[in-house]
Amino acid sequence: MSVTLVTGGSGFVGRHLVAELSRRGVAVRTTVRAPTEFGPGVDVRVVGDLASHGELDSLLHGVDCVLHLAARAHVTEDRADDNYELYRISNEVLTDRLAQAAAANGVQRFILMSTIKVFGEVDRGRPFAVADAPVPVDAYGRSKLAAERALWARCAAGTLAGVVVRSPLVYGPGVRANFLRLMRLVDREVPLPLASVHNRRSLVSTDNLVDLLCRCREQAAAAGGTFLVSDGEDLSTPELMGKVARAMRRRARLYGVPPAVLRLAGRLLGRSGEVARLIGSLSLDLAATRSTLGWNPPLTVDEGLQKTVDRYLGGRS
pLDDT value at residue 83? 79
Tally of domains in the chain: 1
Using CB atoms within 10 Å of the CB of residue 251, give its burial: 0 to 12 exposed, 13 to 18 middle, 19+ buried: exposed
pLDDT, mean of each 10-residue run, the chain (317 residues)? 93 96 97 91 90 85 96 62 82 95 96 97 93 94 97 94 98 94 96 96 98 98 98 97 97 95 94 90 97 98 98 82
Q: Is residue 249 part of a domain?
A: no
Closest CA to 210 of 91, 306, 295, 309: 295
State in Å, rounded, how far the first CA of the chain is from the last one.
43
Backbone angles phi, psi at 19, to 5 degrees: -60, -40
Domain that holds residue 31: 3-171+203-232+283-298
Does residue 61 form part of some domain? yes
HEC states along 268-306?
HCCCHHHHHHHHCCECECCHHHHHHHCCCCCCCHHHHHH
Q: Give the pLDDT confidence score for residue 268 in this predicted structure.
A: 93
Domain membership of residue 40 (yes or no) is yes
Q: Does residue 91 form part of some domain?
A: yes
Which of the following is catalytic: 84, 87, 140, 255? 140
Residue 140 annotated to the active site: yes
Q: Which amino acid is at 2?
A: S
What pLDDT was estimated at residue 53? 75
pLDDT at 317: 54
In a domain, 9, yes or no: yes
* CATH number of the CATH domain containing 109: 3.40.50.720
In a domain, 90, yes or no: yes
